[in-house]
Structure 1
Amino acid sequence: MIGRVFNGRYRITERIGIGGMAEVYKAQDQVLGRTVAVKVMLPQYAADPEFTARFKQEAASAANLQSPYIVNVYDWGQDDGTYFIVMEFVRGTDLKSAIQQRGAINQRKVAEIGSQVCQALSVAHGLDIIHRDIKPQNIMVQPDGNVKVMDFGIARAKNSVKTQTSSVLGTAHYISPEQAQGKELDGTSDMYSLGCVLYEAATGQLPFDGPDAVSVAMRQVNEAPVPPSQINPEIHPDLEAIILKAMEKNPVNRFRTAREMKHALDDFMMGRPVNLGENVNSAATQVMNGVVPPISNDVPGGTAVMPAVSSMNGNSGPMKTVDYRAGGKEFDMGKKKSSKRTVGIVIGALVAILAIAGIALAVSGAFGGQTRVPDVTGQTEEAARQAIEAAGYVVGEVTEENSTDTVSGRVIRTDPAADSELAKGETVNIVVSIGAKKGTVPDLNGKTAEEAQQMIEDAGFVAKFGGNESSDAEENTVSRQDPASGTEADEGTTITYWISTGPELTNVPNVIGDDQATARATLESAGFTVSIQDGEYSDRYDEGVVMSQEPNGGQLEAGETVTIYISLGKDPATIPVNVPAVTGMSESEAISELNSAGFTNVGVSYESSNTVPEGDVIRQTQSGTATTDTYIEIVVSSGSGSSSTDDTQPTDPDDSTTQSDSQG
């Protein structure tokens, strides 16, 4: 595949990824001169006509999604039986790799990632596009910390290989219960998958795991997740509640929309009370009884196609519930145990917890008190000071920092971080936002797409390709940009640029055979300047008719000159005319008569004659009609005596002197 050029435009340079449905390559767009990613669908899927039909529809739908958090789809098509999609090449790493390398991620960063993914999902759901394969492998983290979601619409296309819902598409570790069962999906399925992603990011562990995809999917349907705080005690109760609400087994109990989930995550980041929606009081994760059928697991962590089940199997009793609210976390896996034994275990556990808590309180009291740094993110400096001092700490250094996420004058973070354990009386430093860093939009005029992209990113902005357009700018360079160069803008602002395909060209009309007036009007109405030149004599084109033009066809810019050449008609020299009868005329009269008729090629010879007076024409070699370039000879009398025929010569009509033979 390396070196192959798709559609004569996208040259493959290296493979950068492989999944269960496709391979992804880095490529060079040879038209726009930019780096792109090309996703090539595997042959077993590209060969299915139903798949290809939906693939085209979904690729076109994905190309319509416009969001700074969605990977742009530039192009798609088919080349020699291979179906491909051309996407924005995103620099950075996928979230899965980040989790594998670092383990649990800072919980505020987890919320920020979730908020951005929610914004992307909100755009897609608004266009009736369900992702169906949200997983950390499809979330790219860029160098600036922002994310981009990949593969919008592609999962839906793959899920539409058959008209019946007899197959289910997804990745077992992140698939929603209803998706595993082949049920009709809506946007809440994507939110369940996002909940699984945030769970993994916040804890460093998958919510459900197993030896194979089948067992993992069965746990998605049948089990409730372990509350994240049991894995990572640092997790804030509000973030935990958001994650578990997104992972409700019953879609009705999840966030109603991606926007609602985004608001909850934003509230958590800004330190505001988190609204979990109307069903917050129930706060119950319902565990669905049932089994999941066999699942293809050829690609670890990859998108799997699995047969669906039409109904749930297994126990038909009431669904169990798990209360995940802060303070007393019950975790019922649905197993039947003796109630007395259960009560005993619970009482014993409570006694042990209280004993440990008592010891901890005694120790903390002896040493002045150990508590947690309050979360003052998003508060004003004054409000943050009051909260920190009220918690028993001393406010230390207050520094300022640019931020695109926190408004000016509000707290970005504290040091030590919020929720950190810290003895009372210790110092807490505050970092306050001074707003987004400003930058000057660079001048992209005359730059190639790749150069423009690099300049925008180097200046701290986000680059977006607006499309191709005809303009006076040089071909394959930036024709215009928005905002304009020199504008002051916040760092992270999107700068859109358009690439010129060169000036707009117009087809040159063919006016050969038209009369001069008609030809001129035709060319001028097409936007061209007309130059008229004399042509040549022509047997084909009448006088006054266009016999040729420059250029003849092709395209020119409006206002350029087209030259037309006008026929002079037939060459007079080729038209037969009457030859004057000059016998008996004097030599000079005869020559003048012939010249006047157009015959200029006249020769004179002399001959003695006893009957024709000397100097008069005895006879002529041509009579009747002839073309004017015909040679005509006149024989002139030299009087009586010997004749002289060696003096024959053509005459010049402008030469009044004629040569005569004086021999007598």
Structure 2
Amino acid sequence: MSTVPSDLIGRRIAGYRLEREIGRGGMARVYRAEDLRLGRTVAVKILAPELARNDLFRKRFEHESRIAASIDHPHIVPVFEAGEAEGVLFIAMRFVHGRDLRALLDREGPLPLDRTARIVTQVASALDAAHAHNLVHRDVKPGNILVAEGTDSEHPEHIYLTDFGLTKKSLSLTGFTTVGQFVGTLDYVAPEQIAGRPVDGRCDVYGLACVVHEMLTGRPPFERDDDMALLWAHLNDPPEPAVGHGAAVDEVLVRALAKDPQARYPSCAGFVAALRTAGLAARVAAPAPTQVVTEPPPPPPPPAWAAPVYGPGPRV
């Protein structure tokens, strides 16, 4: 397995001084860093040295990093620079003050449907913008969705999608890649990725639907005891229902999680629009709470000292 050296804190990589580690994965680590040229704080992702020695990967990394840097979108973390230095591949991005969706779900648990829709609307916009540039994310998961403070009470969160241009395959990269390389996180991976088939933007529709299911229920749509069983479930099993959100919401998720990409929503925005409509329908169809009318309790009997006034009979 690829590994990143753990002793990089304090090192200078291509004009960035690495200050502290803020995230890690199997092939990369992310550091808060100082941009020594402009005096600003940035996030720098350092990839494992083994990847820099792979000519095919390096070409794809450089190509997709350029595409990612060219996308100007309010919900995609801006890429400042990407390249190779000191024998490693790096990518410098905006440092986002906040936390990722994984931390939010771990802290708060399942989210209401309206808040879920508000968050994933921004994610869907970012994904569709990438697809318009022939870039497929392929690893949509809570850890790649950053939640920053919003502008006002109507927009309490500003969402950023991150981790473009690192290990993904562009739709236009047939000259650089071979079909069959698996990239993704098992809880959110589309069947066509598992099978090694070509992917397009509907792969990200599937991943986003897995994230939505977890946001609504506290768990991904498939939970199994081992990785092979989980992969089999993505390929063959129906997803768990999103209990408590109504049949219309379940129908939307089932379509977005279809095994056949052609049966899914053609865009992430289309999926989220259907989710919002289903949520609204569920609220309209919900029965009004039943009002129970009860008779007031009878008055207590008079005290003994008042018997001469009220007499022995019941009070009225």
SS in 2 for 1:155: coil
SS in 2 for 1:217: helix
Deviations along 1:443-502, one digit per CA (max 9) or x if unpaired, are xxxxxxxxxxxxxxxxxxxxxxxxxxxxxxxxxxxxxxxxxxxxxxxxxxxxxxxxxxxx
Report the Cα distance in structure 1 between the residues aligned to 2:263 and 2:162, rounded to whole angstroms: 27
Report the Cα distance in structure 2 between the residues aligned to 1:198 and 1:44, rounded to whole angstroms: 34
Report the Cα distance in structure 1 between the residues aligned to 2:120 and 2:215, rounded to whole angstroms: 10
Report the Cα distance in structure 2 between the residues aligned to 1:30 and 1:69, rounded to whole angstroms: 26
Q: Please give the TM-score of this superposition, normalised by the length of structure 2.
A: 0.81
Q: Which residue of 2 aligns with 1:536?
A: none
> Which of residues 261, 264, 278 in structure 1 aligns to 2:271?
261
Report the Cα distance in structure 2 between the residues aligned to 1:224 and 1:261, rounded to whole angstroms: 18
1:147 aligned onto 2:159: yes
Counterparts of residues 489-500 of structure 1 (less than 5 Å): none
Percent of aligned pairs with the same amino acid: 35
> Which of residues 183, 191, 194 in structure 2 aligns to 1:177?
191
The change in CA–CA distance for 1:213 and 1:158 in structure 2 (over 3 A counts) is farther
AA paired with 2:218?
G
AA paired with 1:245?
R
Deviations along 1:308-343, one digit per CA (max 9) or x if unpaired, are xxxxxxxxxxxxxxxxxx9xxxxxxxxxxxxxxxxx
Q: Which residue of 1 aligns with 2:42?
A: 36
SS in 2 for 1:28: strand
> Which of residues 59, 68, 73 in structure 2 aligns to 1:67?
73
Q: Which residue of 1 aligns with 2:17?
A: 11
Structure 1 unpaired stretches of 5+: 274-325, 327-373, 376-390, 392-418, 427-664
Q: Which residue of 2 aligns with 1:245?
A: 255
Q: Is the 8 A contact 1:115 1:265 kept in 2?
A: no
Report the Cα distance in structure 1 between the residues aligned to 2:38 and 2:253, rounded to whole angstroms: 42
Deviates more, 1:158-167 or 1:94-103: 158-167
Deviations along 1:282-309, one digit per CA (max 9) or x if unpaired, are xxxxxxxxxxxxxxxxxxxxxxxxxxxx
AA paired with 2:291?
K
Counterparts of residues 490-529 of structure 1 (less than 5 Å): none
Of structures 1 and 2, the larger Rg is shown by 1
Q: Which residue of 1 aligns with 2:54?
A: 48
More strand by share: 1
1:217 aligned onto 2:231: yes
SS in 1 for 2:110: coil
Report the Cα distance in structure 2 between the residues aligned to 1:242 and 1:154, rounded to whole angstroms: 31
Report the Cα distance in structure 2 between the residues aligned to 1:85 and 1:41, rounded to whole angstroms: 9
Report the Cα distance in structure 2 between the residues aligned to 1:107 and 1:179, rounded to whole angstroms: 28
AA paired with 2:188?
Y
Report the Cα distance in structure 2 between the residues aligned to 1:243 and 1:148, rounded to whole angstroms: 23
Q: Is the 8 A contact 1:139 1:149 kept in 2?
A: yes
Report the Cα distance in structure 2 between the residues aligned to 1:15 and 1:158, rounded to whole angstroms: 29
Displacement of 1:250 after TM fit? Answer: 1.2
Greater relative contact order (CA < 8 Å, ≥ 6 in sequence): 2
> Which of residues 241, 254, 258 in structure 2 aligns to 1:227?
241
Q: Is the 8 A contact 2:47 2:89 kept in 1?
A: yes
AA paired with 1:422?
P
Q: Please give the TM-score of this superposition, normalised by the length of structure 1.
A: 0.40
Report the Cα distance in structure 1 between the residues aligned to 2:13 and 2:133, rounded to whole angstroms: 29
Q: Which residue of 1 aligns with 2:210?
A: 196
Give the superposed CA RMSD: 2.5
The change in CA–CA distance for 1:226 and 1:6 in structure 2 (over 3 A counts) is same
Structure 2 unpaired stretches of 5+: 1-7, 151-156, 294-316
Aligned length: 278
Report the Cα distance in structure 2 between the residues aligned to 1:43 and 1:158, rounded to whole angstroms: 22
